[in-house]
Each structure stands twice: as structure tokens, then as C-alpha cells.
A = this chain, B = another copy of it.
Amino acid sequence: MNDTIATAIDPETRVTHHDHEALRLWLRLLACTMLVERHIKARLRARFRVSLPRFDLMAQLERAPEGLRMSELSRRLMVSGGNVTGHVDQLVAEGFVERRDVPGDRRASAVALTPRGREAFLAMAREHEAWIVELTAGLPAGDRAKLHQLLGRFKQSLPMP
């Protein structure tokens, strides 16, 4: 185990003996998320030379075959960061995304995956899912199911932002 890397990506190292159990829970949740995200980022880069914001952007477009306005796309991606316009321009230049008119609004435009972009995304999404299956396989199936259930309760219990 590489302790240098582990420290860099583990907010739980911040925990001290006098921290409240709620804080410990949060930092552990954050640690797990960051560790998985780190794996996914590295694999997307190594396998497809794609950044996570770009993958997330294509995932949003894949769910919206009718296309999304840039404002809507930016809103949906707000937490993933990254420069949406820059990513879109790049994807358009590569033929993965196209701009479309918005019926009834001549000044607006929407973006959508091209057939080629959809194909490229689905290939990545299949591998992404296999990575997630692999990354969670160390936890017994019963624990995974229980964790899913508890996270669902936690999510339901959170106040809306």
C-alpha cells in the first residue's frame, strides 16, 4: 500500500480522536467517493483519454436524445465542474456532438450527441459499469445491498439544498 497516495486522497486522515461521530461518518463517505472517483478518472484517461467532466457531459446528453440547451446542460453539470462550452466545442469538432435549433426559439440552440457520439459514449459506459462492478466486488453482496438501502435512507433524510 502506497501511503503517500493514500493520504492524498483520503479525507479520513483528517479525523482526530475528539471528532464527532457524524463528522467521522461524513469524512468516510467522502473518502469512499473520492477513492472510487480516482479509479474511474484514471481508467477513463488510460483507456479512452477522456476526462470525467467530459464523460459526465456525454452521459447527460445520452439521457436527452432530443438535445439539451446549453443553459440546461451547464445546470446539470454544475457539480462536475469543467468548462462546459469548451468541452462542447471540442466534442463538436470531433463529431461527437451537434448543435440543433430549438423549435419556437430562434435565438436558442441545443446540443445533442451525434450517432457516432452516442456509440462512443455507450462503449465507454459499458466499460465504466464493468469497472464499478469490479470496484464494488470486494464487498459481499449482502453488504452492498444493505449499504444501498442505508444510503437511500440517508439521502431521503437530507434536507433539500
Contacts and interface: CB of A to CB of B under 8 A. Distances in A.
In the complex, which range does the number of interface residues on chain A fall in? 35 or more
Interface in A27-47: 28-39, 42
A81 B79 CA distance: 12
Contacts of A76: 7-8
A36 B26 CA distance: 8
B63 A25 contact: no
Contact of A136 (B30, B36, B60, B154): B154
A148 B25 contact: yes
A25 B154 CA distance: 13
Interface stretch (A14-22, A100-108, A116-124): A14-22
A129 B19 contact: yes
Interface of A: 1-2, 4-9, 12, 14, 19-26, 28-39, 42, 59-60, 63, 75-76, 78-79, 81, 129, 132-133, 135-139, 143-148, 150-161
